[in-house]
Structures are given as structure tokens and as C-alpha cells.
Amino acid sequence: MTRDEVLQEFRDAGAILEGHFILTSGLRSSVFLQKARVFMYPDKTERLCKALAAKIEASGLGPFDFIVSPALGGLIPGYETARHLGIPAMWVERENAEFRLRRFELPAGSRVLVVEDIVTTGLSGRETVTALQSLGADVRALACLIDRSGGTADAGVPMIALAEYKVPTYDPNDLPPELAGLPAVKPGSRGLS
């Protein structure tokens, strides 16, 4: 899939939102990729994750024993990518703000691929990698559908992105006037109670 084809799937699903958004990193942006609006369509999710699986296979970073994804956003693409790679998928979820593998056993030394939906700063990916390494996992790579960072995000392991979509982000104390005048909304699940 080309970058344009990937972004067109997001556009067709009405998943590219404009406004004033508080991202999970605390940064602000005028664009938010509401991936849930893509993942509600199994055919779109299948096309995207099949293409991601092909890119992962071509990367030579595998083989992998398991995919592990950070909830919530990573869960559906993690499962669907695992289906195309023929391996099992697990997820980490927040407990007292920290990602934990609450429902699964991950044998020490397992070769793990982390699958994310969207990467902005790499913070959530890094938290996932660290949580899995503390269990003795051999985390070999992180794959995502869209990298918003322009290749600068660092999750602590090699990264494979199906498409790059560089979008400006801003410090909340240094907002451009067009954002400062709009009420800010936070669509993601970090910090929800």
C-alpha cells in the first residue's frame, strides 16, 4: 500500500479530525487521527494490517513469537496483524497508570513485536517495551500504522511504520493563535478514570 492509499483509508472513514487536541504526550495538535473510526470497518483494518504484516516480514527483524500491543488503540491492529503473521496477540493495559500484561503469561526470552496504531512521540511504545523487558521479553521491534513524528520518535527498538504523516505538535504553553482560541479536547484513554 502506498502512503496515499493508507491515508485515503483514514480519510474515507472520517478519521482525520481537525480542531484542538490534547495528545497522550501532553502536546497539542490541530489534527487527530481517530483510528477507532477506521477499526470499526473490518475490511479497512484487514487491508491496512495485511500491508503492515508484509512490511514487517520484509524488514528482516523477525521472526517473532508474539505481538503485544498497548490498549486501547493498539489492540485491534495488534490482533489483525497477528492474524496475517500467524502468531498470537496479547495486550498491555494501564493499572495505576502503568502498562501491565494483566491477562497473559509471556515466557522469558520471547521474541516480541510491539504493534501500535499511531506513533507521535514514541512515549506509549517505549512504556510498552519497558514493561515487557521487565518480564524478560526480547522486544525486537515496534510496528505502527502511522508515524506522525517524521521518523524522529524513539521507542527504544527499531520501528516499522506503514505510512508517515508528519503533523505539527505544540507545547501547551506555546500555542499558535489559531489553536489558542479553540477549546481543547483529549480523545485518548491515558489518564481516564
Ligand X SMILES: O=P(O)(O)OC[C@H]1O[C@H](OP(=O)(O)OP(=O)(O)O)[C@H](O)[C@@H]1O
Ligand Y SMILES: O=C(O)c1cc(=O)[nH]c(=O)[nH]1
The gap between the terminal CA atoms of the chain, to the nearest Å, is 38
Is 45 an interacting residue with respect to ligand Y (CB under 6 A)?
A: no
Is 20 an interacting residue with respect to ligand Y (CB under 6 A)?
A: no
119 binds, options ligand Y, Mg ion, ligand X, none, Cβ within 5 to 8 A by partner type? ligand X
Residue 82's φ and ψ, nearest 5 degrees, are -60, -35
Is 191 labeled as ligand-binding? Answer: no
Is 32 an interacting residue with respect to ligand Y (CB under 6 A)?
A: yes
Q: Output the nine-digit C-alpha cell for 67.
A: 505481538
Is 121 an interacting residue with respect to ligand X (CB under 6 A)?
A: yes
What is the rounded CA–CA span in Å between residue 120 and residue 74? Answer: 13
Is 67 labeled as ligand-binding? Answer: no
| Residues in 97-116 at the binding interface with ligand Y, rule: CB under 6 A | none
Among the listed residues 73, 77, 78, 122, the single contact to ligand Y using CB under 6 A: 73
32 binds, options Mg ion, ligand Y, ligand X, none, Cβ within 5 to 8 A by partner type? ligand Y
Number of residues that bind ligand X (CB under 6 A): 19
Looking at the Cβ atoms of 54 and 71, the one nearer to Mg ion is: 71
What is the rounded CA–CA span in Å between residue 96 and residue 144? Answer: 25
* Contact yes or no for 45/38 (Cβ under 8 A): yes
What is the rounded CA–CA span in Å between residue 151 and residue 154? Answer: 8
Q: Directed axis angle between helix 75-85 and helix 42-59, to 10°?
A: 60
From 2-10, 45-53, 55-63, 120-128, give the range in contact with ligand X by CB under 6 A.
120-128
Q: In this structure, what DSSP letter does residue 185 have?
A: B
3-state helix, strand, coil in the chain (%, to 5): 30, 30, 40
What is the rounded CA–CA span in Å between residue 158 and residue 154? Answer: 8
Rule CB under 6 A: which residues touch ligand Y?
Answer: 23-25, 32-33, 35, 73, 118, 120, 148, 188
Q: Residue ranges for the binding site?
A: 116-124, 148
User: Which residues sit in the known binding site for 5-phospho-alpha-D-ribose 1-diphosphate?
Assistant: 116-124
Residues that bind ligand X (CB under 6 A): 24-25, 70, 72-73, 116-125, 153, 188-190
